[in-house]
Each structure stands twice: as C-alpha cells, then as structure tokens.
Amino acid sequence: MKTILITGATAGIGKATAYKFAENKCRLIITGRREKILNEVAFEINEKYKVEVLPVCLDVRKNEDVEKAVSGLPKEWRNIDVLVNNAGLAVGLNPFYDGVIDDWERMIDTNVKGLLYVSKAVAKIMIENRKGHIINISSVAGKETYPNGNVYCATKHAVDSLTNGMRMELLQFGIKVTLINPGAVETEFSIVRFKGDNQRAKDTYKGYQPLTGADIAEAIFYTTTLPQHANINELTITPSAQATPMIFHKKN
C-alpha cells in the first residue's frame, strides 16, 4: 500500500487529491494549518475509504516545524512514496507598484520557500529509500505572466524552475519529479486571493465552466500510475474555455 503526503489538504485541489488517493487504497499523511478542518477531512476519509490517515497540522513556512514533523514521523509512516507539494496561494491582484509587502511575503514564503522546506525534508527519506515521486503544483501562471499577477506568477515560475532542478538532481536515486500546471480551478483560491470578497471570487468563474479540484486530482493520480521506467515530467490542464491565463471564451 502506497503512502502519500499531501500539503494543503484542508481545501480545494489538495483535499480532492486526498480523496482520490484514498479511493485507490493509499494511506495518507495530510497537512494544513487549520487543525479542526484537517482533522475533519482525516476523519471523513477514514470513515469513507477505511484507509489510514495521519493529519499533521503544519505551516509550511516554518522550516523548523516542517523538519520536526517529517523527522518525527512514526516509523510506519516514513516510507513516503509520493509527495504532493500543493499548499500555496495568491494574495492580491495589483500592479507591483501598489503591491502589499505582506502579501508578497506570504506568497514567496509559502509557494517557494515552503515547497523547498517540505521537499528537502521528504527527499531525505526518499533518497534513503531509493524511490519516490515528488509532484509540484505550479500553475499556468508559472508558464506565462499576466498583468497584476507579478509576484504570484514569479513564485510559480520559481516552482517550474525548481521542479526541473529537482528532477535533474534526484534522477540518480530513481525518484520521479512531475510538474502540474492547472488553469482556473474553482476552490478557495480566489476567496483567499481577494481576501474574503466572496462576490469577486465568484465572478472569477462566471461565464464558463471552471475546473474542479477533482479534475486536477484525477491528473495528479494518473501521473502516479505509470510504471517505474516512465515519468510524466509536466502536465498543463485548463478548462476547455481557457487558452492562456488571460484568454477565456466566456458566455454572458
């Protein structure tokens, strides 16, 4: 039975990914900052799929906590087969000259530094085991910058570049590395980006059918089903009505 570690499993893509792997009889380590929700997700998944779920309340921005959490995993949970680096966020949508420094720091600290902290801690185990698969959730924003997306786009470009580096450096240990670039997915993402402005968040998905977290979970899961000799390096998935981060075919 495979062990899957998913960061940011309290909502959206991460939560859907947890369900998808559980449905396929994997055991899960799930993380997130909101402890109550995290425990509820763990409980629901365990009830529904009868697989073991270990909730680990964690802020990926805190390297000491990340190191402690990973090195302190009980022996029977250390054999991690797949790491899904999903925790991430966009905060704000302003020209950089009106940017809020705290928003920038939250994005850089979570999307880039947090992903690195978790990857380093888990790679140590995977290197010892000479096996593993790291799946980094970037974005179409990591492929193409759009106006007012400045720092968010830069963090996802960094994830793109780091993924390539990880693949090169982990190749010798038989560890696979995959990049997933979703387009518009209706999750809590826009509520977070617009700081709780639910109407503005809703409007983001008006006039077309956005992806769901389950759509991305399906793709993530698929990349883990290939035989050891084959790897999907990168997948970009958008709604059928989206061509680039900015170009949508919307109906009024």
Give the chain's end-to-end CA distance (angstroms, integer).
47
Please tell me the distance from the alpha carbon of residue 121 to that of residue 25, in angstroms, as a whole number: 25
Q: Does 22 bind ligand NDP (CB under 6 A)?
A: no
Sign of CA dihedral 80, 20, 180, 106: negative
DSSP state of 210: -
Q: Which single residue brings its beta carbon nearest to ligand 8X3?
A: 139
Nearer to ligand NDP, 173 or 208 (CB): 208
Q: What is the DSSP string of 40-91?
A: HHHHHHHHHH---EEEEE--TT-HHHHHHHHHTS-GGG----EEEE------
Q: Does 132 bind ligand NDP (CB under 6 A)?
A: no
Q: Does 10 bind ligand NDP (CB under 6 A)?
A: yes
Q: Which does 235 bind (CB under 5 to 8 A by kind): ligand NDP, ligand 8X3, none?
A: none
Per-residue exposure over 68-85, b if at least 16 CB sit within 10 Å of its own CB, e if not: ebbeebeeebbbbbbbbb
To the query of whether residue 208 is one of the catalytic residues in this protein, the response is no
Q: Which does 188 bind (CB under 5 to 8 A by kind): ligand NDP, ligand 8X3, none?
A: ligand NDP
Pick out residues in 159-218 that bind ligand NDP (CB under 6 A).
182, 184-185, 187-189, 192, 213
- Pick the binder of ligand 8X3 from 14, 55, 114, 245 (CB under 6 A): 245
SS3 state of residue 146:
coil
User: From the candidates 152, 205, 208, 222, which is the catalytic residue?
Assistant: 152
Q: Does 141 bind ligand 8X3 (CB under 6 A)?
A: yes
Question: Whole-number minimum distance, CB 230 to ligand NDP, in Å?
Answer: 25
What are the catalytic residues?
152
